Amino acid sequence: MTIDPHAALAALAQQTIELPSWAFGNSGTRFKVFAQAGVPRDPYEKLADAAQVHRFTGVTPRVSLHIPWDLVDDYDRLAAHAAGLGLQIGAINSNLFQDDDYMLGSLTHPDARVRAKAVAHHVQCIDVMRATGSTDLKIWLPDGLNYPGQDSLRARQDRLAESLAQVYAALDPDHRLILEYKFFEPAFYAMDIPDWGTSLLHCLALGEQAFVVLDTGHHAPGTNIEFIVAQLLRAGRLGAFDFNSRFYADDDLMVGAADPFQLFRILHEIVGSGALSPDSGVNFMLDQCHNIEPKIPGQIRSVMNVQEATAKALLVDGDALLAAQLAGDVLGANAVLMDAYNTDVRPLLSDLRTSQGLDPDPMSAYRASGYADTIVAERVGGAQAGWGA
Ligand code: PSV
Ligand code: MN
């Protein structure tokens, strides 16, 4: 391989990954939420835990908030708290899935009153963005139908377009609206934004501040996700990833756990398009829940998995790959990719961390820090934050 590891190190040094505040609270399935000792009791403690991930990996300076889960009285204070911990507030996620009014839809609801309420919630989220310095309003639309004939598929798209335009109009010039898609759940017959094409059409209609969010857990089994990545990058509309792993549904497991090869293929498209660069506009976020594993190490492991996939993608010999592709050398081209994928990049990442003054092994450094024991001892009393708080 003729790849220069220094170039890979320089690119890795620039990569950042955004953490979700909800990953630090209790979570579970609809069958059971397991409480863990030491879990945060408010958004301030969630940020303190996120800061530990940044402390040991050095690449996670931003945290996404979910409103109203992360509702506080004073967002200036929360932003100052984040800054004191060396963090910034990342994307602000709206919540359209936990209000009784939204049983039959929110931004698509047949009743104009409910649609106006959902739009107003986004205006509230934009206020939080202004107070915290966040630039991304992230919308995941849980709306959809369970039964054919339940509502008009087409009318719902028209209502959605109108509602989104109202939200978009409330953005500041430096804000982005990033729009997620999901093929099923909570609705089972038809989601109103089921796929990247629908999300992209709405973004194109809205304007240049609208981008698609690709959550890796939101596709039918067998979907070629890297193809979607390539298409959205061509269109200049890939705004962000929600990284996680899935075996069957929207499992929200640690990214890279189910299919590290898929993660590598996604990062290969990113690297090949120059989208790893911090000014590419692609935000690499995690969207995960740690139901049975400890949460801070779960986030650290996930970050390391993204870094390993990125490092492998950076080691693809682009010249050799292109030459093989142009020569029609099918096996040669595939071998170039597999050589990079099969490289053990852990020593390279250890070098990166050492050069940044970090411990080369973030997992054991976190364990040795004693932070886990400290929060178990200190966080007694109060209500633990959970998925939904
Ligand atoms: C929906 O499944 C989703 O991926 C959206 O990003 C939500 O905001 C998030 O999960 C909540 O966990
Ligand atoms: Mn998501």
Q: What's the pLDDT score for residue 387?
A: 82
Give residue 198's pLDDT band: very low, low, confident or very high (50, 70, 90): very high
Q: Among residues of the chain, what percentage have pLDDT more than 90?
A: 97
Q: What's the pLDDT score for residue 389?
A: 73
Whether the per-residue pLDDT at 388 is higher than 80: the answer is no
- Return the domain boundaries, the chain: 5-378
Can you tell me which atom of ligand 1 is nearest the CA of 185? Answer: 2
* Whole-number Å distance between alpha carbons of 219 and 199: 13
Q: What's the pLDDT score for residue 2?
A: 53
Residue ID of nearest Cα to ligand 1 atom 2: 250
Is 69 near ligand 1, meaning CB less than 6 Å away? no
- Alpha carbon of 138 to ligand 1 centroid (Å): 10
Whether the per-residue pLDDT at 124 is higher than 60: the answer is yes
The 10s digit of each residue's pLDDT in 290-310 is: 999 999 999 999 999 999 999
- Alpha carbon of 93 to ligand 1 centroid (Å): 9
Do 236 and 270 contact (CB within 8 A), yes or no? Answer: no
The 10s digit of each residue's pLDDT in 238-277 is: 999 999 999 999 999 999 999 999 999 999 999 999 999 9
Tokens of 328: 């029609």
Give residue 64's pLDDT band: very low, low, confident or very high (50, 70, 90): very high
Is 70 near ligand 1, meaning CB less than 6 Å away? no
The residues, any chain, with a CB within 8 Å of residue 65's CB and separated by 6 or more, are 21, 43, 89, 90, 91, 92, 93, 128, 132, 134
pLDDT averaged over every residue in the chain: 97
Q: What's the pLDDT score for residue 138?
A: 99
Q: What's the pLDDT score for residue 248?
A: 96
Whether the per-residue pLDDT at 62 is higher than 60: the answer is yes
* Whole-number Å distance between alpha carbons of 137 and 126: 7
Whether the per-residue pLDDT at 379 is higher than 90: the answer is yes
Q: What's the pLDDT score for residue 331?
A: 98
- Alpha carbon of 197 to ligand 2 centroid (Å): 17
Q: What's the pLDDT score for residue 21?
A: 98
User: What average pLDDT does the segment 319-333 reach?
Assistant: 98
- Alpha carbon of 274 to ligand 2 centroid (Å): 24
Residue ID of nearest Cα to ligand 1 atom 12: 287
Whether the per-residue pLDDT at 5 is higher than 90: the answer is no
Is 243 near ligand 1, meaning CB less than 6 Å away? no
Assign domain 5-378 one CATH number from 3.40.50.170, 3.30.565.10, 3.20.20.70, 3.20.20.150: 3.20.20.150
Do 12 and 307 contact (CB within 8 A), yes or no? Answer: yes
Give residue 190's pLDDT band: very low, low, confident or very high (50, 70, 90): very high
User: What average pLDDT does the segment 183-198 reach?
Assistant: 98
Q: Which residue from 85, 9, 18, 11 is spatially nearest to 51, judged by alpha carbons? A: 85
Tokens of 164: 């989104």
User: What average pLDDT does the segment 358-379 reach?
Assistant: 98
Bridge-partner residues for 65, per DSSP? 92
Q: Which ligand is nearest to the CA of 285?
A: 2
The 10s digit of each residue's pLDDT in 128-156 is: 999 999 999 999 999 999 999 999 999 99
Cβ count near 80 (within 10 Å): 12
Residue ID of nearest Cα to ligand 1 atom 7: 140
- Alpha carbon of 140 to ligand 1 centroid (Å): 7
